[in-house]
Structure 1
């Protein structure tokens, strides 16, 4: 894998009895694309309580006494992670539900071949894109424009504006400091309705300057510019002399 896809990172972990525990593989082209072009993303998977639960008074008081900067992304002063989601994990689990019954080497090859196909398809799609922002981004910005048609803008200075929505909620947009009290731009990196309304009032036709580079078509094109290469037949593999022999894992029936 490393030889045919330079920059690939691989790790294999066994227990004390040399029983296989897990294998980690990050394809080189994916690693470089993530570092250079993608937004920092934290993917979390877990189980959720589905019964009826209530927050008692002591818990509520405890939460109220915690600084919002330490428990809410909208108030966090930095940009450590932009997204918190498990959607990608769930999609991969669903896509590979049958492949996960394969032997380990076959499963690894399944994921590699799937990534090769995805990269090729994405590269072809983005090659036909003609807009500065990706089609998905254009769709989101268009949706953000809809509710702000009747909003009112009141200039405070040349760079600060007060925007009042139809519910009379007031939001301050500061272009010089790039701060917006609704904090949507800080989370999404996309112009919210308040920013769009001010730009429209000032006769700006696009929102490029207030959109993260991760949403530009050129960024997407660069993300998939490198290919995932296939592997030769196992009979052509170079087997090292110090190859570690692992035992298969003990599986529990579920």
Structure 2
């Protein structure tokens, strides 16, 4: 009919629900307006198209309320089908969802073979109920991302992070030389101080660099280059060289970094090893991989998360089974490349007296030249 009374949300939702079967596909209300006008000659406003989109999403992916009711059963079946998996669900006094924690069995078993560095991050869930997804991850010997645990809370507040870190410690305990890397969120710092008082807490240098740019209004490639090199420097002498270059850019940056603490972000001042994990990029990679899944109802989202983790575990496991060297494939490649380059080197004894004279003169070019000679000798 002319006023399209039959074109209600239920009818149109059934017609367009196939558009939302793939979670990566973006179909906006404007797309619905254009499709309905082209295919059926039905015109509508934006608000009606928005309601129809919500209806189609519910038909294709499930209801948000029903998904929370199915969550306890789903977590129970995860523990049954994956022996060793740890799940925990917390509700409030009114029996409403509050916190959730999940650590897969293969993650728990593989932790002792990974680097003792845990990267922590939180990201928002894009549903009508909101919430925050907490992630803890590390890297294995072959430089692959290795997820450790996931959690869901209301937001990034003190109580949520404290609960997540408590469950994380119950699951994985503490290791000698362990470090935790994250952004400088105050709630994360408070939770680590309470749960891991003896564990080193390092800052992500990428987030710290962004804070410097915002606080001091300084931009440019010189700041990026010198700060990153200062953070990754192995020797205090090299660190001071790059900090001196930063002083030339803005003299206020050094006091700001001193207040934070050099040990928090600098490799040469850190009390324990950070390996190559100077940023929280691996956590950001997990968040990017789950970007589409974060729009789904909670139980459907957890199934997508489980599928992703198992896919990575299957792929990395097959690669490990095909490895017959004493080290991982990535390490073997680096060693072979370095060996080929080293064949062309000529190694000479280092004149200690000449080296001391060069250092005293502080000739940057000659110092770097002598350092390279020493590195060749050590190699």
Q: CA deviation at 1:18?
A: 4.8
Task: Report the more deviating stretch, 48-57 or 37-46.
Answer: 48-57
* Maintained 8 Å contact 2:350/2:373: no
Write the distance in 1 (CA, Å) between the matches of 2:257 and 2:312. 43
Of structures 1 and 2, the larger Rg is shown by 2
Q: CA deviation at 1:24?
A: 1.9
The 5 Å alignment of 1:74-153 reads: 74-79=268-273, 81-82=274-275, 83-142=277-336, 150=345, 152=347
Write the distance in 2 (CA, Å) between the matches of 1:66 and 1:118. 36
- Give the counterpart of 1:5 among 82, 89, 111: 82
Write the distance in 2 (CA, Å) between the matches of 1:197 and 1:95. 44
- Give the counterpart of 2:371 among 155, 170, 173: 170
Which residue does the alignment assign to 1:28?
105
Q: Structure 1 pair 78/125, CA: closer, same or farther in 2 (3 Å)? A: closer
Write the distance in 1 (CA, Å) between the matches of 2:373 and 2:92. 56
C-alpha offsets along residues 152-202 of structure 1, whole Å, 9 cap, x if unaligned?
A: 45379xxxxxxxx994142798xxxxxxxxxxxxxxxxxxxx3x7534xxx
User: Number of aligned pairs?
Assistant: 170
Write the distance in 1 (CA, Å) between the matches of 2:296 and 2:98. 16
C-alpha offsets along residues 46-100 of structure 1, whole Å, 9 cap, x if unaligned?
A: 5645667247534524646887446522222433x43233222222222222222
TM-score (normalizing by structure 1): 0.51
Q: CA deviation at 1:120?
A: 1.9
Write the distance in 1 (CA, Å) between the matches of 2:280 and 2:263. 23
2:217 is the alignment partner of 1:53? yes
* Maintained 8 Å contact 1:2/1:8: yes
Gaps of 5+ in 2: 1-77, 122-182, 184-206, 219-248, 352-365
Which residue does the alignment assign to 1:154?
349
TM-score (normalizing by structure 2): 0.36
Write the distance in 1 (CA, Å) between the matches of 2:264 and 2:319. 40
Write the distance in 1 (CA, Å) between the matches of 2:260 and 2:290. 41
2:378 is the alignment partner of 1:198? yes
Q: Structure 1 pair 154/69, CA: closer, same or farther in 2 (3 Å)? A: farther
Write the distance in 2 (CA, Å) between the matches of 1:198 and 1:112. 46
2:233 is the alignment partner of 1:39? no
Write the distance in 2 (CA, Å) between the matches of 1:22 and 1:6. 22
Write the distance in 1 (CA, Å) between the matches of 2:256 and 2:98. 40
Which residue does the alignment assign to 2:223?
none
Write the distance in 2 (CA, Å) between the matches of 1:62 and 1:98. 38
Q: Structure 1 pair 171/70, CA: closer, same or farther in 2 (3 Å)? A: farther
Q: Structure 1 pair 113/170, CA: closer, same or farther in 2 (3 Å)? A: same
Write the distance in 2 (CA, Å) between the matches of 1:131 and 1:106. 40
Instruction: Point out the structure with the larger helix share.
Output: 2
Q: Structure 1 pair 16/64, CA: closer, same or farther in 2 (3 Å)? A: same
Gaps of 5+ in 1: 157-164, 174-193, 200-254
* Maintained 8 Å contact 1:44/1:84: no
Q: Structure 1 pair 132/102, CA: closer, same or farther in 2 (3 Å)? A: same
